[in-house]
């Protein structure tokens, strides 16, 4: 089967498509013993031998997990400080990676997979996939600031906003539910921080079609093929 090199690496469960492209550009990938740094390079998956840092790659069965991330875990697959990683919580023989990031002290919905295409689909800005968060602020959210966050403020020199802001109960304006289609690093915390608020607790309660559904903190479950296909169907593929 003919396949672009960057897609093949992602399909092997090594990393997302974007990270796979970085491996190629860094000169770490070879095809039949020869280094390749062209993202559009096409291989024959049945006959060509692809290596990353000298290690042979092979296509893997795609697996998908939904984790209720606890505090105290980082969303990377390696760490020089030897901190606990989210991949440590999942029992699998496959080389999985988290889709996007949640901060060390942020909890909630996190998808882990070895499917680079699916990870790219979930995180690509053009797909506008919603993320919903439960937020605890250090003080009441003022009406004028709520409006600013909904109409847009400038973050990273670009206009940024929440799609929705709701309160869990009347009279309590510290506990908030926000929805955004943004996936930028620490986006929710930085949005509130730009207006002088501090986020004391943050939990992602929905990512696209995925919710916690009474999944205990620190626990995970496998996602079915039907659930994965439903994401593509719901968000335009």
Residue 39 Rama label (left phi>0; alpha psi -120 to 50; beta): alpha
Report how far residue 197's alpha carbon sits from residue 178's, in angstroms, rounded to the nearest whole number: 14
Report how far residue 237's alpha carbon sits from residue 231's, in angstroms, rounded to the nearest whole number: 8
103 catalytically annotated = yes
- DSSP label at 51? E
Do residues 218 and 63 make contact, with C-beta atoms less than 8 angstroms apart? Answer: no
Report how far residue 68's alpha carbon sits from residue 30's, in angstroms, rounded to the nearest whole number: 37
Residue 184 token pair: 């930028």
Total residue length of the chain: 237
Q: Give the N- to C-terminal CA distance of the chain in Å, as an integer.
A: 23
Cβ atoms within 10 Å of 113's Cβ, excluding its own: 23
Q: Work out the angle between the directed axes of helices 116-123 and 17-25 (0-180°, nearest 10).
A: 110
Do residues 232 and 121 make contact, with C-beta atoms less than 8 angstroms apart? Answer: yes
- List all residues 6 or more positions away from 158 whose beta carbon is below 8 Å from its beta carbon: none
Catalytic residue among 48, 103, 117, 145, which?
103
Do residues 126 and 112 make contact, with C-beta atoms less than 8 angstroms apart? Answer: no
Instruction: Report the catalytic residues.
Output: 103
């Amino acid at each position: 089967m003919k396949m672009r090199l960057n897609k093949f690496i992602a399909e092997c469960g090594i990393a997302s498509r974007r990270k796979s492209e970085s491996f190629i550009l860094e000169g770490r990938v070879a095809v039949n013993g020869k280094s390749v740094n062209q993202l559009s390079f096409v291989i024959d998956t049945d006959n060509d031998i692809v290596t990353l840092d000298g290690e042979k790659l092979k296509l893997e069965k795609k697996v998908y997990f939904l984790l209720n991330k606890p505090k105290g875990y980082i969303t990377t697959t390696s760490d020089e400080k030897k901190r606990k990683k989210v991949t440590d919580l999942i029992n699998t023989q496959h080389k999985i990676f988290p889709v996007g990031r949640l901060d060390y002290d942020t909890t909630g919905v996190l998808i882990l997979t070895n499917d680079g295409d699916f990870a790219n689909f979930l995180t690509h800005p053009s797909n506008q996939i919603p993320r919903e968060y439960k937020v605890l602020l250090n003080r009441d959210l003022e009406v004028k600031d709520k409006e600013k966050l909904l109409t847009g403020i400038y973050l990273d020199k670009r206009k940024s906003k929440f799609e929705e802001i709701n309160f869990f109960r009347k009279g309590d304006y510290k506990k908030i539910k926000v929805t955004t289609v943004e996936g930028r690093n620490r986006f929710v915390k930085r949005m509130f921080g730009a207006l002088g608020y501090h986020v004391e607790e943050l939990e992602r309660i929905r990512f696209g079609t995925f919710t916690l559904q009474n999944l205990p903190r620190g626990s995970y479950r496998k996602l079915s093929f039907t659930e994965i296909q439903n994401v593509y169907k719901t968000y335009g593929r």
